[in-house]
Amino acid sequence: MTLLNPIDAFIYSMTLSAAIDGEISDKKMNHIYYLIESLPIFQSYENKNADTSINTCIELLRADNNPEDLIALIDKSLNRNSKRIAYTLSVEIMMVDQNFTNEKLRLLEIFENIFQIHSLETTAIKHSVKIKYSDLESEIGEI
């Protein structure tokens, strides 16, 4: 299989994370588009190409149904620092629903193992994204 360009690898990471527990919700899809439109790493990307990348990723996942193969492709397509970005984007998409299922946790483990991201880094990333999505009432209650 041909390697992905880094932007498509990021989009595959987000799409895979959105699709891991079945269908991709509108909320997750809208968040993927929001990130593509707003993050600096996507500034040179033609947003109209996002649909093609997302649909191709979904087709590959349906054909193979093995997320490890897609993650291995993403891994081969990215340098070490870009793998951290892909992982962070994946966690971000998973947090949209604020509900971590066993499938999501397993997918994150696969990302961590294949990308060889240290557990301290993954913990910091997860914590940062969790804080970003926490509501004010729960945070006040913990003070």
CATH number at residue 33: 1.10.3680
Between 22 and 112, residue with greater pLDDT = 112
Calculate the dihedral angle through the C-alpha atoms of 101, 37, 86, 76, rounding to the nearest 10 degrees. 130
Domain that holds residue 48: 6-141
Smallest CA-to-CA distance from 81 within 44, 116, 43, 54 is with 116
Res 98: pLDDT? 77
Report yes or no on 1 lying in a domain.
Answer: no
The predicted structure's pLDDT at residue 135: 72
* 26 part of a folded domain: yes
pLDDT at res. 70: 92
User: What residue type is assigned to position 91 of the chain?
Assistant: V
Lookup: tokens for 84: 């951290």
- Domain contains 116: yes
The answer to whether position 15 is within a domain reads yes
Tell me whether residue 48 is in a domain: yes
Asked if residue 28 is part of any domain, the answer here is yes
DSSP letter at 4 equals P
Q: What is the pLDDT of residue 76?
A: 97
In this predicted structure, the answer to whether residue 136 has a pLDDT above a threshold of 70 is no
Q: CA 10 to CA 17: how far, in whole Å?
A: 11
What does the mean pLDDT of the chain come to?
A: 89
Tally of domains within the chain: 1
Q: Does 27 map to a domain?
A: yes
Over residues 113-126, the mean pLDDT reads: 94
Q: pLDDT (tens digit, 9 = 90+) per residue, 33-83?
A: 999 999 999 998 887 789 999 999 999 988 877 889 999 999 999 999 999
Residue 107 resides in a domain: yes
Q: What 3-state DSSP class applies to 20?
A: coil
Model pLDDT for residues 19-33, shown as the tens digit of each residue: 988 888 999 999 999
